[in-house]
């Protein structure tokens, strides 16, 4: 399973690295250390925390959020696979995006819960790029 540094987790959550460190120190998000001593967050744990954070409405500040060229980098929080179609949810900071795509596309991208991905929005369609 993919793990994220505190800085990567902060970017995915839409907060500063200092805020992510404070949350880790307070036990709100669990971390572990790699061989180099860096603090890492498990991808699945980060996905669950990002959903909890978005539901609670907690952000570092009330700064406006924008998307550059309609790209929403985030973390995959849920995947529902059908025989032909699939539904992928991404939590991008305070934004929850849902995309309907083919099962084949999900498998080709190798998408999993806890994985970093970018949702790209064009009109009413959401496209998923694996990071």
Whether the model clears a pTM of 0.85, i.e. scores above it, the answer is no
How far is Cα 63 from Cα 65, in angstroms, rounded to an integer? 6
pLDDT value of position 58 = 56
How far is Cα 30 from Cα 101, in angstroms, rounded to an integer? 32
pLDDT in tens, the chain (131 residues): 799 999 999 999 988 899 999 999 999 999 999 999 999 999 999 999 999 888 886 555 544 444 446 788 899 999 999 999 999 999 998 899 999 999 999 999 999 999 999 898 876 667 788 87
How far is Cα 98 from Cα 130, in angstroms, rounded to an integer? 15
Residue 36 CA to its chain's centroid (Å): 24
How far is Cα 87 from Cα 109, in angstroms, rounded to an integer? 13
| Cβ atoms 94, 59 nearer than 8 A | yes
pLDDT value of position 131 = 79
């Amino acid at each position: 399973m993919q793990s994220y540094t505190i800085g990567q987790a902060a970017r995915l959550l839409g907060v500063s690295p200092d805020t992510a460190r404070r949350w880790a120190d307070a036990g709100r998000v669990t971390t572990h250390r790699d061989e180099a001593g860096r603090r890492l967050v498990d991808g699945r744990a980060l996905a669950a925390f990002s959903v909890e954070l978005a539901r609670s409405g907690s952000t570092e500040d009330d700064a406006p959020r924008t998307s550059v060229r309609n790209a929403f980098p985030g973390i995959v929080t849920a995947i529902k696979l059908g025989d032909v179609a699939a539904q992928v949810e991404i939590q991008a900071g305070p934004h929850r995006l849902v995309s309907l795509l083919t099962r084949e596309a999900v498998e080709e991208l190798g998408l999993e819960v806890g994985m970093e991905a970018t949702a790209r929005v064009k009109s009413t369609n959401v496209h998923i790029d694996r990071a």
